[in-house]
Amino acid sequence: MADTPVTLADADACVDAIIEQVGRHIILGLPLGLGKPVRLANALYHRACQDSSLKLEIVTALSLLAPGGSSSLEKRFMEPFAKRLYGDIPELAYAADVVRGRLPDNVRVSEFFFKAGSFLNNTAQQRHYVCTNYTHAVRDLMALGVNVVGQLVSPRSSEDDSLSLSCNPDLTLDLLLELSALRQQGKAVALVAETNRNMPFMGRDARVPASDFDIILERPSTDYPLFPVPHMSISAPDHLIGFYASTLLREGGTLQVGIGSLGAAFVHSTILRHQQNERWRSLHQALKVAERFPVAEQCGGTGVFEKGLYGCSEMMVDGFMHLLKAGVLTREVYDHAGLQQLVNEGLIGPDVSIETLDVLRQHELIDSPLRARDIHWLQDYGIVDPAATIRGGRLVVSDHSLEPDLDDPECRRKLAAVALGNRLKGGVVMHGGFYLGPNDFYQMLRDLGPAERNRICMTSVNFINHLYDHRFGNQELKSAQRGHSRFINSAMMVTLNGAAVSDGLDDGRVVSGVGGQYNFVAMAHELPQARSILTLRSTRSSKGQAVSNIVFSYGHCTIPRHLRDIVITEYGIADLRGRCDEDVYLGLIRIADSRFQQELLQQAQKVGKVAREFRLPEDWCNNTPEAVKAALGELDQGTFPPFPFGCDFTDEELVLGKALRSLKSATATRRGKLVTLWHAIRTRTDDPALQPLLHRMSLDSPTRLRERLDQRLLVHGLRRIGEPSESGSHSR
């Protein structure tokens, strides 16, 4: 954008420069999630709070705040935890005031994706929500008039004057092009980078010239830690869902997966399949997967991943790094459609030989004699020595001068001896649009060596989510790279006709946002041999009661019925693609919780979608929580742990969290509140084994009435989950 960007050490000075450049009506576009420049955003927001003549509109998604709590017990639990994880990270001021309802009249915040459930009761954010597919977000940002873009970046490379968009090239790569076009039209725009040395420097597409920005805020002494998302506990139902999903992976395939416990469970089972295949197969056989769910055999596999998998996911979750380290994420793809197709067909392997040149020539990717453009292209992929050049029609390598004729036996011998590389290079095992995850994930990225880092390409979401966008790759290339794709996403509910509810409620309120889910589901129907896999738990708890997530109908949908494909619950796999309605309805009833199957069947029969004489087979009717525990119980407890990739909570916090969840469930109704309070008042609190837990909650020496009541409620919650155990130790 600028030949020489202005580098400033003061955020307020950056605000002055922005106002001077674009005026007093700032429409600020900020990246989704981690890439928000907190110091810059806070300075702009505070200036707007102080100066009502400055109009500030913020357009973004997923504004991250440290977790808090609603009840006094939850606050006692969360505050020390939040201080430990987030205490050194400055709070995003506008986001905090959105939650508190304190935005001034001259500031407006619109988001196209929320943290799930965070704004259900925030009427301002519900009104200002922008509904858009991820691939349309840049278009809609530009339509809203964005004139300033702020981005957190990894600071300048020692090799040149470049910066790394690192965690968020997803939209910014496109916005750079759009704002450049606006500037050429004479519009006032500003691109501002805020550097942070804790941000991993990701290369390839994420590496951009510093001159792409007008202003750089750089003050290393104020660099702050990256915002972490704690590891989530994986329940037994989650593990079974993840296991079933892992049966659908095809060797040498492509993978997209989202964040959360269901995604983590899937990654764990995939690693188990690769590293402990015999143990994985024993559960596969115990669950009779091949017999009960033929789609697993038709589309998946049971072997290890000798060819590996390739990741292509709008969000690069920490699970991809675990798959990389486990030797699963190893299938490299190349940025040339012709070369990629030859690799797919096994005509070219990773090792380079003179036969590699023959195959390339046969498929008209190079000529003979080799020309300068052939040599440059071959060098890009490590096929020819990087020192080789064409001079006077001859191939020169060090002290050797060769005739580059592939038909001459002597030339071929010399080419093989002195001019060829050893292995193909430039391959990528992971394309990601943005990343967000726990602290150890960020450290893994920082610790990558140059060669490993170069196998990961953070890039535009339009390359990843959109087959037909030609600015970043083309359809032929993407189709060649994405063989046997499995796009794995989660849903809140699925209706019996196969529609999925993932982002909102039937009263119009937004839970999260569509994000890229629709893109991947649609892509699964466009790519050959691709499948969309939607995962969900069969039930949820509402007011202390189990409620089915497989429902007859619902007044909102994210994925329409005509894009139905594969749905997985902890009770199995429903293959819906191309099926008639009766088979779809029955396939979903089959994987519903047995407490709700009969009612769902009756509803389907009432409207004529299932034959009236149909009766639930006996082997469908054991879909119970007890059956889930029994299925996993056949293996030792260490095979499916609640935290396979690490835990941010202490042992005491895990126990306390379980007790608080138990209390929340018990008090979901008015009667439950009264019964719980009655039991809590009668609970003894003098057990010495309780003291460490009470001390963690600052309730070991209560003085006020509220503290004494909280103490008794907590002890009652601990008793409900069997704590302290008879041995005196805390169980996880």
Condensed to tens digits (0 to 9), the pLDDT of residues 633-658 reads 867 668 999 999 999 999 999 999 99
* CA 311 and chain centroid, separation: 11
Token couple for 78: 């969360």
Q: How many CA atoms lie within 13 A of 224 on its CB side?
A: 20
Rounded to a whole number of angstroms, the distance between the first and last alpha carbons of the chain is 54
Residue 473 has pLDDT above 90, yes or no: no
Question: How far apart are alpha carbons 555 and 498 in whole angstroms?
Answer: 14
Residues 368/406, Cβ–Cβ less than 8 Å? yes
Condensed to tens digits (0 to 9), the pLDDT of residues 8-65 reads 999 999 999 999 999 999 999 999 999 999 999 999 999 999 999 999 999 999 999 9
Q: Which among 213, 229, 258, 203 has a CA at the least distance from the CA of 458?
A: 203
The DSSP code sequence of 556-602 is --SB-GGG--EEEETTEEEE-TT--HHHHHHHHHHTS-HHHHHHHHH
Residue 108 has pLDDT above 60, yes or no: yes
Residue 299 is inside which H or E element, if any?
Answer: helix 294-299
The DSSP code sequence of 642-689 is S-TT--SS-HHHHHHHHHHHHHHHHTSSHHHHHHHHHHHHT-----GG
Which pLDDT does position 449 carry in this prediction? 94
Token couple for 607: 């409207």
Q: Which among 281, 263, 285 has a CA at the least distance from the CA of 272?
A: 281
Question: How far apart are alpha carbons 366 and 373 in whole angstroms?
Answer: 9
Which pLDDT does position 156 carry in this prediction? 75
Which pLDDT does position 514 carry in this prediction? 92
CB crowding 79-96: b at 16 or more within 10 Å, else e: eebbeebbeebeebbbbe
SS3 for 480? helix
Reported confidence tier of residue 544, pLDDT bands at 50, 70, 90: confident
Condensed to tens digits (0 to 9), the pLDDT of residues 660-695 reads 999 988 888 889 889 999 998 888 888 899 999 999
Residue 257's alpha-carbon distances to 241, 260, 318, 505, 525, in angstroms, are 13, 10, 10, 23, 17
Does the N-terminal peptide bond of residue 369 adopt cis geometry, omega within 30 degrees of 0? yes
CB atoms within 10 A of CB 350: 12
Question: How far apart are alpha carbons 641 and 644 in whole angstroms?
Answer: 6
List, in order, residues 6 or more apart from 103 with CB less than 8 Å away: 94, 97, 109, 124
Residue 728 has pLDDT above 60, yes or no: no
Reported confidence tier of residue 726, pLDDT bands at 50, 70, 90: very low
- CA 73, 76, 77, 82: dihedral to nearest 10 degrees? 140
CB atoms within 10 A of CB 478: 24
Question: How far apart are alpha carbons 590 and 613 in whole angstroms?
Answer: 16
Measured N-to-C along each axis, helices 651-666 and 670-681 cross at an angle, to the nearest 10 degrees, of 130
Question: How far apart are alpha carbons 473 and 471 in whole angstroms?
Answer: 6
Q: Quote the mean pLDDT of the chain.
A: 93
Task: Tell me the longest C-alpha to C-alpha distance in the chain.
Answer: 97
CB atoms within 10 A of CB 698: 14
Residues 522/564, Cβ–Cβ less than 8 Å? no
CB atoms within 10 A of CB 570: 28
CB atoms within 10 A of CB 370: 26
Residue 157 has pLDDT above 70, yes or no: no
Residue 517's alpha-carbon distances to 111, 203, 353, 587, in angstroms, are 17, 26, 42, 22
Which residues, in sequence order, are bridge partners of residue 26?
Answer: 56
